[in-house]
Structure 1
Amino acid sequence: MNERAGTPAQESDLIDVTALVAAYYALKPDVAVPAQRVAFGTSGHRGSSLTVSFNEAHIAATTQAIVEYRDSQGITGPLFIGADTHALSAPAYTTALEVLVANDVRVLVDEFDDYVPTPALSHAILAYNRGGHGDQADGIVVTPSHNPPSDGGFKYNPPHGGPADSDATSWIAERANEHIANGLRDVQRSEPSAVEAYDFRGAYVEDLAHIIDMQAIKASGIRIGADPLGGASVGYWGAIRDTYELNLTVVNPKVDPTWRFMTLDWDGKIRMDPSSPHAMASVLDHQNDYDILTGNDADADRHGIVTPDAGLMNPNHFLAVAIDYLSTHRPEWRSDARIGKTLVSSSMIDRVVGALGRELWEVPVGFKWFVPGLIDGSVAFGGEESAGASFVRFDGTVWTTDKDGILLALLAAEILAVTGKTPSQRYAELTEQFGAPAYARVDAAATPAQKAALSRLDGAAITASELAGEPILATLSHAPGNDAAIGGVKVVTENAWFAARPSGTEDVYKIYAESFLGAEHLAQVQAEAKAIVDAAIA
């Protein structure tokens, strides 16, 4: 923990925007250097121009690769494109438009030259593809999500509207690196003039009445504070207020690519993470000014929920409350629709879902796993412990297939408006019924070889029979819901569990752990988890 965590950013913490953008154009990547290659993680390619990991060549090559991919898949409809408020997003957006237009792709951009949240782009793709046009649309979001101001990001969403799967991203990344190695010889570019306008904000905001009880929120008169944290939702919250006549205040409407108004995250960096009490410290100063106070990250795919009685809710706690509420207030949902969670999310969700009589669907980390179920309605809710979730409409049909932080923030307001209880008060009631788990994530040092070994580890390689005094009931290397590899291991006892996964960016592995027997037992689980994993990957 950095000693300045939670304190206001100082001038020395801020990026030099001019230097950052200049480096985007000036520095040329060498794909022989692994760190300078195009590489898609769980949410696109991310990097910084200053480290030659997010530069003009990366975006030109990746966009050309996306054009070639959509050709190979027979995708002939329009491509929706939007960007967030990061400094590198604007130049990357322009580069992408130049390549798309030169390749004769029909491109739809925001009608008002506004920022475009990830959920609004997913919503646009799905709306078009439901329209019976005879072709299929896809999209690009230029965003590194909650990453620091020096970073850029580039995400591709195919016609299903959600994050591209690994087959698609692997192909795109490999082809993009080939283009860079060839000096961009086969990359076409021209002035981005032939584009069409689309009202992302209007289409999204007007459709909210089909998934959130906006009339109940209006009638309650509850005071809502919404902080975009300088991100792409900044224009959406005012539109939501005006469209539905809510008692809603946009707490901080400022947009500044340096994010000088932020407080520092746990490691002393500026990071727009609405689930972090350190990054949200300035928002928490207003927790008593509103009945519900929310935050979103830069592309609005994550949510933070603040209540007067509890402050910032742990994302796991709010997911459990959201699932409990929706399952009892959406009578048109299919009775057999499953509730999806990632395997590092709290077991409180398991207990809530079990009591509701619904089926739990536990998948590896990554929102992409929920996409098919959300589309066909067989999954009613999909959520991640990192404060990302989406769910289906009142009638059980798909809303978005990417995470939607605006939606979950509005759901918090609906819960209070309908039940008279804040989400944190409802969580306290759930703990009385199911117990109060202690949950944490820590990092442990690991060499690249050890990380590789962990990613391939089979559950059978875990030889321990006990964890923190309890018999081990399961050792998993594949998710119970879909049998997909989890890229690590999860160990489960009656009252506790841990999961270990290698970091994609640092020489550490992540240990997620939870105990229903208290904080001391959790600490014991964490210590023994490290010993168990270290022995298995030695």
Structure 2
Amino acid sequence: MDEPIEFGTDGWRAELSEFTTPRVRMVAQGIADYLREEADHAGDTVAVGYDARETSPGFAADVTEVLTSNGFNVLLADRDCPTPITAWTIKNRGLAGAVAITASHNPPEYNGIKFIPDDGAPALPAVTEAIESHLREPDPLPPEEHGVHREDDFVEPYFENAIVMVDAHLTDLTVVYDGMHGSGRGVTDELLELAKATVHRRRCDYDPTFGGTPPEPSAENLEGLVEAVEEHDADIGIANDGDADRIAVVTPERGFLNENLFFAALYDYLLEFNDGPAVRSVSTTFLIDRIAEAHGEAVYETPVGFKWIAQAMGEHDALIGGEESGGFSIRDHVREKDGVLMALLAAVMTAERPIDDRIDDILDTYGEIYQDRRSIDCPDDRKEPVVADLSTQLPDSVAGLDVEDVNDVDGFKILLEDGSWLLVRPSGTEPKLRVYAESSSQERIETLLDAGVDLVEPLV
């Protein structure tokens, strides 16, 4: 029996045994009905992009056929394309929205579909729930009412805008770029070369199996990038995930750079010539708050999921929004996490000053910070009861530290007297509970995580 089609944190993803042509066509019909009946976009143009998976071009063709048979015109990407560039194309061309076929960092046996509304930001639950309510078999209009589709280049106009927006001149910078065989290959590396950087490439050939490693830019999957940065005496290493909406950075001194530290460095850099608040998810470091406070700026905290960050960025005219998993965007750009533009920004920031030096100064000024997380298996139908049970059993102290406050914006974030914190929240994409901790020492992190697991496991 098929699992239900449900839009999670970032669209609907499933293994190919569930993610089938008939079901994709049902989602496409739901999107067509939503655009026509609830978004007042009948007959308008929709972008369709797709990632580097073997099955993605075929699913993109299915979506295109359903949308055009419902009277919409379609701009179809002329190659596999980073999701943020598909989102940017909406704003650039004044489109009704976009559909991206992608399973992001998941293994090749997965695929996914996400709808992006006309503002280019991730769809909020009101939109995805409306699409879910319209799921049905395709219902084409008479042939004379069909729309048309054409393939188009989404990348080149994006490049032209990015180079002007960032004002990048990287003539003395050496970068190693790891495409992880995803849709950032031939895009992020080309943009960096357009800005005059010297670029050494890794995993930038087409391989829909991703070389046997899921395109997840984690420390364990980027050991080769760390070695390549050393081999080429590079100033920075940069990787994108499968659909290039996230970034990971490698530095000469630190190797794989914790995404929280990259966020802190980027915000610190942007504040040199801009002002504005930051938006971060509840699982992201308080180091951002310390930097903001020093500059007289505010920080807005959101649930996990870039859709919430994007919403808050719009509400507060934020300078930057980000999350500890490597998703970031900035003011005056599309409010979708964008690993391509962030790669260019990371390179520009590094060209001005070595990123390790900047981080050293940040930690000297604001204090050392460590963060880690663990996962606890938890069936989806147990997540809500576990969180409800936890609400009645929150402790007065954790690992010998008094609890000062509890934030319930997403699960429970337990704030401790020494400034450290422990967060328990349900995963939006997997049958797991996440336990996060942040503290000023790595040893303390392990103690806090042990305490969090001991608190939660008996409730599962």
Tell me if TM exceeds 0.5: yes
Contact map agreement 1:340 1:383 (CA 8 A) in 2 = yes
Change (3 A) 1:200 1:375: farther
Contact map agreement 1:205 1:239 (CA 8 A) in 2 = no
Change (3 A) 1:435 1:185: closer
In the alignment, the residues of structure 1 paired with residue 330 and residue 257 of structure 2 have an alpha-carbon distance, to the nearest angstrom, of 20
* TM superposition shift of 1:188: 7.0
In the alignment, the residues of structure 2 paired with residue 458 and residue 442 of structure 1 have an alpha-carbon distance, to the nearest angstrom, of 17
* TM superposition shift of 1:194: 2.8
Is 2:401 the partner of 1:470? yes
Aligned to 1:5: none
Aligned to 2:111: 152
Query: What do residues 190-248 of structure 1 show as CA deviations (whole Å, max 9, x unaligned)?
Result: 9x993134321111101113432312x23xx1111222111112221354245333322
Change (3 A) 1:376 1:171: closer
Sequence identity, in percent?
27
Partner of residue 66 from structure 2, selected from 94, 99, 107: 99
Aligned to 1:232: 183
Q: Partner of 1:442: helix, strand, or coil?
A: strand
Q: Partner of 1:69: helix, strand, or coil?
A: helix
* TM superposition shift of 1:137: 2.1
Partner of residue 162 from structure 2, selected from 208, 211, 228: 208
Aligned to 1:115: 80
In the alignment, the residues of structure 2 paired with residue 413 and residue 241 of structure 1 have an alpha-carbon distance, to the nearest angstrom, of 8
Partner of residue 21 from structure 2, selected from 25, 50, 56: 56
Written as runs of structure 1 = structure 2, the 5 A alignment for 1:79-478 is 79-110=46-77, 113-129=78-94, 136-176=95-135, 179=136, 184=137, 186=139, 194-215=148-169, 217-218=170-171, 221-241=172-192, 243-260=194-211, 270-274=213-217, 276-288=218-230, 289=232, 290-330=234-274, 335=275, 337-375=276-314, 378-392=317-331, 398-419=332-353, 421=354, 423-456=355-388, 461-478=392-409
Change (3 A) 1:505 1:401: closer
* TM superposition shift of 1:187: 6.2
Q: Partner of 1:433: helix, strand, or coil?
A: helix
Contact map agreement 1:164 1:368 (CA 8 A) in 2 = yes
In the alignment, the residues of structure 2 paired with residue 57 and residue 189 of structure 1 have an alpha-carbon distance, to the nearest angstrom, of 21
CA RMSD of aligned residues (A): 2.3
Q: Partner of 1:234: helix, strand, or coil?
A: coil
In the alignment, the residues of structure 1 paired with residue 127 and residue 193 of structure 2 have an alpha-carbon distance, to the nearest angstrom, of 40
How many residues align structurally? 453
User: Which sections of structure 1, spanning at least 5 residues, go unmatched?
Assistant: 1-29, 130-135, 263-269, 393-397, 479-485
Q: Partner of 2:166: helix, strand, or coil?
A: coil
Contact map agreement 2:99 2:114 (CA 8 A) in 1 = yes
Aligned to 2:455: 532
User: Which sections of structure 2, spanning at least 5 residues, go unmatched?
Assistant: none
Change (3 A) 1:505 1:163: closer
Q: Partner of 2:210: helix, strand, or coil?
A: coil
Change (3 A) 1:428 1:185: closer
Aligned to 1:522: 445
Contact map agreement 1:454 1:502 (CA 8 A) in 2 = no
* TM superposition shift of 1:403: 0.6
* TM superposition shift of 1:120: 0.6
Q: Partner of 1:114: helix, strand, or coil?
A: coil
Query: What do residues 336-375 of structure 1 show as CA deviations (whole Å, max 9, x unaligned)?
Result: x320000001122221222222100110001111324544
* TM superposition shift of 1:326: 0.7
Q: Partner of 1:156: helix, strand, or coil?
A: strand
